[in-house]
Chains A and B, each alone.
Chain A
Amino acid sequence: MKHATLLAGALLATSAFNPAFAQDADVTVVLAEEPDLVEPCMATRSNIGRIVLGNISETLTELDVRGDEGLKPRLAESWEMVNDTTWRFNLRQGVSFSDGSAFDAEDVKHSFERAQSDQITCEISRYYEGISITPKVVDAHTIDFTTDPAQPILPLLLSLLTIVPSETPIEFTREPVGTGPYVLADWAPGQSITLERRDDYWGDAPAVSKATYVFRNDPSVRAAMVATGEADIAPSISAIDATTEMDQSYPNSETTYLRIDHAVAPLDDKRVREALNIGIDREAFVGTILAEGTDIATAINVPTTLGWNADTAVRGYDPERAKALLEEAKADGVPVDTEILLVGRTGNFPGATETFEAIQSMLSEVGFNIRLQMVEVAEHEQYYSKPYVQDQPILVGAQHDNSRGDPVFSMYFKYHSDGRQSGIADDKADDLVERATAATGEEREALWSELFGYLHDEVIADVLLFHMVGHARVGNGVDYTPTIATNSQLQLSEIGIK
């Protein structure tokens, strides 16, 4: 960014009180990787979402991650349940796409059907799996969604559906058209992507007039770019670089854990699972291998999630008790000496290898026979998702991200017997997941809470480790506070100019 120009603009603005000057600002955002597409229906992928979501493409509803407003209107002004299986959305009027066409219910219907099409592999369609959803246009600004089974949180699910014009072909696009405050102005492959502010946006005009995204793999280069003024925001830098006043830490909604496969001995024994949990000194990682501010986890979801159970207490580090538990299990014939494979993913997070090495050493000290294997992403996937490798007991080190505020995005596939990444098969857990998914209001919250407590206290489903923090470097010329959603979304309208 041209600091001099900006400074001059800011000075003029403050002296003349002319908002037109204050609103004329360019920012540069440096990201770790270039998106391969700027396809709206892939906006749940972080490198695409940070550019597209809320900037080029908008959704019907939006989860408030800065305050406590919960689900807010965006392209839908309001919504209500017509009956148990039908939701009605009243759409905003007077909204146009960047190609000039007007936004109406047909666009919403097409966007949903396109995302679900088997001709392309849209990422957001995974959130609608296992549910039959039928959109029906009522009139130009009203649309009904009928679901089977009932979906009490359909408005939240639709906060991920990016709306494209009904003329958009099914194939992936490189020229996204949306209703958002920005348009894709330029894409120089390998170098940069530029968004420019639209004049005919339906909402308030944001302060940033132009945003240039550049891509640097190396985290220290990203940090250096903000320090030198070449960029204004680096949303993810490493903890080692985050030492200046420009750096802000934020909970990034990732939870690190070891998934236990309960089907294989000795991991089928509850005492063994408890020993795994109390044999790791979680506190020792915070401020050393992992960043200051990292929280110890008791659940797969962060504490801001609906139904998070405050009564679940961290199992403290107790190596003596862990040894005793293992002895006890051994006396009962549990094969606790069996080699357990700990699978970690290289580059999963900064310090991943060191973290898993430390865990291996801590668990070995209390008497486990652990072999650590660090693998890269595609190989990790073979251990992470079903059908599992089951030639030996395995602990899979992984991260799970859910910034959506509701456990529904985690629980089925992590803890239901049929879940693709579930290590348990427990009737009560299945029942709780199914009932909570279909419940609303306080009942929903209570059921999720019960499930969190049950998994942690009774089942000892996994070795839950940390709620992670991310670090962003923000230049002196801009005003921006990262949120729990910063990993997946970076709305330019939330950036102020100093």
Chain B
Amino acid sequence: MKSTLGKRALSSFVSLFVLIVLVFFLSRLTGDPAALYLPVDASEEMRQNFRELHGLNDPVLVQFGRYLADLAQFDFGESLRKARPALDVVLEAFVWTLKLALITMTLVTAAAIVVGSIAAFQVGRPFDRFASVLSLIGASAPDFWIAIVGIVIFSVNLAWLPTSGTGTIWHWVLPISVLFIRPFGLILQIVRGSMINALGSPYVKTARAKGVKNGPVIFVHTLRNAMLPVITVIGDQAAALLNGAVVVETIFGFPGVGKLMIDSILQRDFNVILAAIMVTAVAIFIMNILIDIAYALLDPRIRA
């Protein structure tokens, strides 16, 4: 187990470094921040001053070296736009995204396991068919459309929920509902398939032959074994949410890291882009370790 984690850490560190190199140089290829930040009629002198002020005059390799040196001291530089440390800006946003992802994934996981298991138990019957159609729609409907339709129905017409923002618990209902739909559809399908397989396996048949009731068959005997593929998908979906639910955050004015990333890319706020990528990459790395641990707990063969 320890060596597995060690290897994981090392490979993640290498990936992270490659990511830094790629993002750093790619972002420098996208255009000159001086062209974007200064008014169109700014003089060359103003542009020059701006570049000097932000160290953009030096050769790119020198800039990169300086960036790495600062990074080693956890200094992610300043946001060009906000005149604040980039890391502070990113962490503030990341906390919001983390909350959103955690709540959504908890609800998704619980709902998908319950509905998927019942569907697996009733293969071919109306409940199963209904669940399958539901999951298919969920997995394929576009976020932005559901979000806008949700606002029109629940906020404008029915006046039940606020359109956007973060003030009260009611503000969370629409964004979470929209984010819920796609992973719910996907995970439900996996749970269902995996449960059908497990239910057909010899140890379940034995348990049933011994007269164990349905409830314990599902939740004690089958689920544990059926969960391994499910965990992978849950991990992927959670990673996607952590990476930033860009569309949903943008529409609902949710101050998360996805919206921040898009804004920073449009504004060429290099330091914020890099810090946001690093923070989410580290978060995803930690989540992968957690999934590995969950795997190991569920399947003793992996612990070796």
Contact = CB atoms under 8 A, between A and B. Distances in A.
A214 B81 CA distance: 19
B268 interface: yes
Given A121-B46, A228-B156, A228-B163, A221 B41 contact: no
B206 interface: no
Given A36-B81, A121-B49, A379-B31, A221 B36 contact: no
Contact of B40 (A125, A224, A384): A384
A488 to B, nearest CB: 13
A129 B41 contact: yes
Contacts of B252: 221
A204 B250 CA distance: 39
Nearest to B52: A118
Interface in A336-356: none
B42 A126 contact: yes
A228 B155 contact: yes
Contact of A224 (B155, B166, B250, B255): B155
Given A37-B82, A191-B166, A378 B41 contact: no
B31 A378 contact: yes
Contact of B159 (A129, A191, A228): A228
Given A118-B49, A174-B83, A191-B166, A217 B251 contact: yes
B89 interface: yes
Interface string B40-60: 111100100110010000000
A125 B82 CA distance: 19
B40 A421 contact: yes
Contact of A217 (B37, B53, B250, B260): B250
B171 to A, nearest CB: 10
A225 B255 CA distance: 17
A119 B82 CA distance: 16
Which residue among A33, A171, A190, A379 has the maximum number of chain B CB atoms within 10 Å of its CB?
A190
Given A190-B255, A214-B253, A381 B96 contact: no
B298 interface: no
A388 interface: no
A171 B53 CA distance: 12
Interface residues of A, number: 40
A107 interface: no
Interface string B150-186: 0110011001001111100000000000000000000
A221 B40 contact: no
A420 interface: yes
A221 B163 contact: yes
A189 interface: yes
B128 to A, nearest CB: 37
A172 interface: yes
Contacts of A221: 148, 151, 163-164, 251-253
Contacts of B276: none
A373 to B, nearest CB: 16
A227 interface: yes
A83 to B, nearest CB: 28
A190 B96 contact: yes
B30 A378 contact: yes
Contacts of B93: 190
A376 B265 CA distance: 12
Given A191-B166, A382-B35, A227 B251 contact: no
Nearest to A124: B39
Interface in A174-191: 174, 189-191
B71 interface: no
B302 to A, nearest CB: 40
Contacts of A216: 164, 251, 253
Contact of B36 (A36, A191, A224, A377): A377
B92 A189 contact: yes
Nearest to B48: A118
B35 A381 contact: yes
B37 A121 contact: yes
B162 A230 contact: yes
Nearest to B148: A220
A113 interface: no
Nearest to B253: A216
A231 B32 CA distance: 37
9 contacts: A125-B46, A217-B259, A221-B251, A228-B155, A378-B32, A381-B31, A385-B40, A413-B40, A413-B41
- Going nearest first, the 10 A-B pairs with the smallest beta carbon separation are A190-B255, A378-B31, A36-B81, A216-B253, A413-B41, A36-B82, A126-B39, A172-B83, A381-B35, A118-B49
